[in-house]
C-alpha cells in the first residue's frame, strides 16, 4: 500500500498494531516518544530509502512510538504476509537481518546517550557517533537544533557546549554544518 502524507501528519501511534514494514520512498519522518510532562524525545529520523517496523513486525505488538512526517512524504507499506514470502529469497533475508542488526546497534547508542547526565559528554559521544558513521574526522550535522533534540537538550546549551569544546581544542567548528573532531576520545 502506498501512503502520501503531509508534513506534521501522525502516520502511526502506540495505539496501532504493527502490520507492515514501511519504506520511505520520498520525504522524511521522525520516531518520537512523548512523556507525561509534555517533553518530546526524538529516537530517530527516517529518511528516503530507510525503513521502520522491520524489527517489531514479528512481535505482534503496537508501535512503541509515534511516527510523524517532518515533510511531505511517500511511504510504501509492505504487509507481514509479503515479508514472509520474501524471506524465501536468501539475499533479501540477509539484507533484512543486517538492517535489524544495524537498528539494534543504533538503538543501543541512543539509550547510552539518554543515560548520560552531562550535556557535554552527550555531545562528545554524539560527535563520535557521527565520526564513526561518516568515517571522517570532519563530520556533517543537519543543525544544532537536531543535535539538541537527539541528545535531549536545547539548542542554546548545545551551542554553548560547542564553544566550550572548541576552547578546549577538542573540536574545530568548520561552518554551520561541519565540525572537525580534533582528539581521539575513548569512545570514538
pLDDT in tens, the chain (188 residues): 899 999 999 999 999 999 999 999 999 999 998 887 777 888 888 999 999 888 888 888 899 899 999 999 999 999 999 999 999 999 999 988 988 888 887 777 667 666 667 888 889 888 988 898 898 989 999 899 889 888 878 889 999 999 999 999 989 999 999 999 987 765 56
For the stretch 107-118, what's the b/e string if a residue is b when 16 or more beta carbons lie within 10 angstroms of its beta carbon?
eebbeebeebee
C-alpha cell belonging to residue 121: 559528554
Q: Helices (H), strands (E): how many in the chain?
A: 5, 11
Q: Return the SS3 of 82.
A: helix
Q: What is the pLDDT of residue 94?
A: 92
Tell me how far CA of residue 100 lies from CA of 44, 51, 93, in angstroms: 14, 10, 11
**CB-CB neighbours of 141 under 10 Å:** 17
Given CATH 2.60.120.10, say whether it is the number of domain 2-86: yes
CATH of domain 119-181: 1.10.10.10
Residue intervals of the chain classified under CATH 2.60.120.10 are: 2-86
164 near 104, Cβ under 8 Å?
A: no
Torsions phi, psi of 31, nearest 5? -105, 120
- Report the chain's C-alpha Rg in angstroms: 18
32 near 66, Cβ under 8 Å?
A: yes
45 near 2, Cβ under 8 Å?
A: no
pTM beyond 0.85, yes or no:
no
Residue intervals of the chain classified under CATH 1.10.10.10 are: 119-181
The rounded distance, in Å, linking the Cα atoms of 4 and 152 is 30
31 near 67, Cβ under 8 Å?
A: yes
51 near 102, Cβ under 8 Å?
A: no
Tell me how far CA of residue 171 lies from CA of 8, 29, 34, 43, in angstroms: 35, 30, 32, 25
Amino acid at each position: 500500500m502506498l501512503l502520501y502524507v503531509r508534513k506534521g501528519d501522525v502516520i502511526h501511534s502506540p495505539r496501532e498494531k504493527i502490520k507492515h514494514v514501511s519504506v520511505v520512498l520520498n520525504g522524511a519522518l521522525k520516531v518520537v516518544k512523548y512523556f507525561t510532562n509534555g517533553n518530546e524525545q526524538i529516537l530517530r529520523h527516517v529518511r528516503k530509502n530507510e525503513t521502520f517496523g522491520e524489527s517489531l513486525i514479528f512481535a505482534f505488538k503496537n508501535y512503541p512510538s509515534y511516527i510523524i512526517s517532518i515533510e511531505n512524504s511517500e511511504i510504501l507499506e509492505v504487509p507481514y504476509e509479503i515479508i514472509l514470502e520474501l524471506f524465501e529469497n536468501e539475499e533479501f533475508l540477509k539484507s533484512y537481518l543486517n538492517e535489524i542488526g544495524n537498528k539494534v546497534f543504533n538503538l543501543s547508542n541512543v539509550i547510552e546517550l539518554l543515560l548520560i547526565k552531562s550535556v557535554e559528554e552527550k555531545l562528545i559521544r554524539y560527535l563520535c557517533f557521527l565520526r564513526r558513521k561518516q568515517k571522517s574526522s570532519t563530520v556533517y550535522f543537519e543543525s544544532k537544533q537536531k543535535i539538541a533534540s537527539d541528545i535531549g537538550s536545547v539548542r542554546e546549551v548545545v551551542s554553548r557546549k560547542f564553544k566550550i569544546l572548541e576552547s578546549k581544542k577538542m573540536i574545530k567548528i568548520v561552518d554551520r554544518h561541519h565540525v572537525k573532531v580534533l582528539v581521539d576520545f575513548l569512545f570514538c
